Amino acid sequence: MQDYPYTFGISEGIPTHYDNHITRTLSVMAGQFADQGAYDAALAEGDELLYEVYELKRPEVAGELLHGISIVHPGLVGDEYFMTKGHFHAELETAEVYYCLAGEGMMVMETPEGDWAVEELRPGRVLYVPPRWAHRSVNTSRNQDLVTFFVYPGDAGHDYGTIEAQGFRKLVLQKDGRPQILDNPHWRAPAER
């Protein structure tokens, strides 16, 4: 980490400079894919790589901007596309910007009050995730990586537990070869929890 302005390039989705390389495999997604049988069968075949994050390290304080590259690989668990764990920011009132560099996908989002949104990610498109909105990237391509650049406030932090416990309200499944947005049968309205 340096406290001097810097630039970096992005070569085939990988930043030319980074501090952390995080990899997430199937086994970190227990309970997240809708088809538990398909998940168990896939895991029995091997703990496949689902996505990777390249982070540029910055102090985790207000005023800083954490940034990096997220790469979700293509694949399916049953009918459900490979996706990130997804999270609320621990500091709920913090936003995030994504810029799609390659591939095709969707960002599934929701608020603690139960509002939801799904936006498409395409190369050259920018997505603004306002404060309060949990976010999960889904790769809807069958053969290409979904590559996004992200930036969010240094003090945001991550709340993974809420999504681990309740899932997202909407699922993105492949139906007739195309992505479809469906209700998650396991999701419960906040008032019912």
Interacting residue ranges for Ni ion, rule: CB under 5 A: 96
> Under 8 Å CB-to-CB from 191, ≥6 apart: which residues?
none
**Least separation, in Å, of the C-beta of 66 and ligand 6PG?**
7
Residues near ligand 6PG (CB under 6 A), total: 13
CB of 67 to ligand 6PG, least distance (A): 9
Cα of 59 vs its chain's centroid, Å: 22
Residue closer to ligand 6PG by CB (options 64, 176) is: 64
Is 152 a binder of ligand 6PG (CB under 6 A)? yes
Q: How many CB atoms lie within 10 A of CB 110?
A: 24
Please, are residues 147 and 124 in contact by the beta-carbon 8 Å criterion?
no
Instruction: Provide the residue type at 87 as one letter.
Output: H
Between 39 and 152, CB nearer to ligand 6PG:
152
| Region from 37-45, 56-64, 85-93, 114-122 binding ligand 6PG, contact rule CB under 6 A | 85-93
For residue 2, what are the CA distances in angstroms to 5, 130, 179? 8, 29, 42
| Binding flag, residue 85, ligand 6PG (CB under 6 A) | yes
Q: Cβ 22 to ligand 6PG, closest distance in Å?
A: 8
Contact call for residues 38 and 82 (beta carbons, < 8 A): no
Provide the 3-class DSSP secondary structure of residue 75.
coil
Question: What residue ranges bind ligand 6PG (CB under 6 A)?
Answer: 24, 53, 68, 70, 84-87, 96, 135, 137, 150, 152
